[in-house]
Amino acid sequence: MNSWASLAAKQLFQAWAHSGVTHIPNPREEGVRAAEKWLEQWSVDSGVEVAKSLGVFPGESAASLNKTAPATSPALPPAAPSPASISPAPAPSTPAPSIPAAPMRSSSPLPSLVDGQTHWSERPLELAARNERFRLLQAEVAACRKCTEIVCRRQKTVFGVGPSNARIVMFGEAPGADEDRVGEPFVGAAGQLLDKILVASGLSREEVYIMNALRCRPPNNRTPTEAEIENCRPFFETQLETIQPEYIVCWGAVAVRAVLRSTESVGRLRGKFHTYRGAKVMVTYHPAYLLRNPEAKRLTWDDMKMLMRELGIPIPPPKRA
């Protein structure tokens, strides 16, 4: 291998290591198709972008990379020992001090939901480990290019905000124009209504975790496609599995499709709790829908009261007309 290719291989290998990759398939043992599929997910672009967003590449000279890179630069990355999901990331032999150690678990997507599973797949993490996983996962999100129609138009990816140990997750649809510009969920008109609903319910925006089915804005705010939801599934499922909230509120039909994998209407699913792994799931109308159909606000208030009763939050007496 020439020196340019060797350096590129080293850089890529490091990027993968620092992005939390725990397993690299060996085509000789696991088949070429498995290796190709893996490369599609962890493309050169994504490896480099992850590295950049983690601050690994800029300012690092080839010499310092050579120091920290594995002793041999493989033409094809070597296979890590199995089982993949619990093995630590392949660390460079001399880790650079500025790069935080990879967490014990990969930040990479967890195995997808087993339908009907009523408990979380892993033990809850300490707060610092949750935050570290989110930091790495956020870099993966920023580097994701799976939804080709969306990715060329997006300004910012919208990961989610709030405490990584929140009791309640507010789960929406997808970023709109404001969220795409700011990089935070629910900051536009729908977000302002959401804030009001939260305050009226004795909750604050700061104590809940707010996220969406999609991390990128669909063109003209069109409804996310099934394929787009599935592309984002590994991200939102990992976020939910990390937070392990007691309650998830699905705001609107797209959130329902993502979390409950149901195409039932909001109207039929609201009014009772459903289950997603270890969380109770409440379904209500999307704030943007409420802005267009104010008469439905009364129903969402009924839904919020159901949640407040569960949380032991006193329900204010009805205002006199």
> At closest approach, how far in Å is the CB of 231 from ligand URA?
17
Rounded to the nearest 10°, the torsion over CA 71, 72, 73, 77 is: -110
- Residue among 204 and 265 whose Cβ is closer to ligand URA: 265
Residue whose CB is nearest to ligand URA in the complex, by number: 172
**Closest listed residue to residue 253, CA positions, set 236, 270, 240:** 270
Q: Are strands 247-251 and 168-172 parallel, antiparallel or unpaired?
A: parallel
Structure tokens at 206: 């700061």
| C-beta closer to ligand URA: residue 102 or 210 | 210
Q: Considering the complex, state which of residue 134 and residue 186 has its C-beta at the smaller distance from ligand URA.
A: 186
Min CB(186)–ligand URA separation in Å: 4
Binding residues (CB under 6 A) for ligand URA: these are 172-176, 179, 185-186, 188, 190-191, 212, 252-253, 266, 285-286, 288-289
Closer residue to ligand URA (CB): 279 or 288:
288
Residue 259: its H or E element: helix 253-260
Quote the least distance from Cβ 158 to ligand URA, whole Å: 6
- Give me the torsion for CA of 87, 90, 94, 95, rounded to 10°: -80
Report in angstroms how near the CB of residue 176 gets to ligand URA at its nearest: 5
Residue number, 77 or 185, with CB nearest to ligand URA: 185
Q: Give me the least distance between CB of 175 and ligand URA, in Å please.
A: 5
Cis bond leading into 77, ω under 30°?
Answer: no
Smallest CA-to-CA distance from 249 within 290, 306, 192 is with: 306
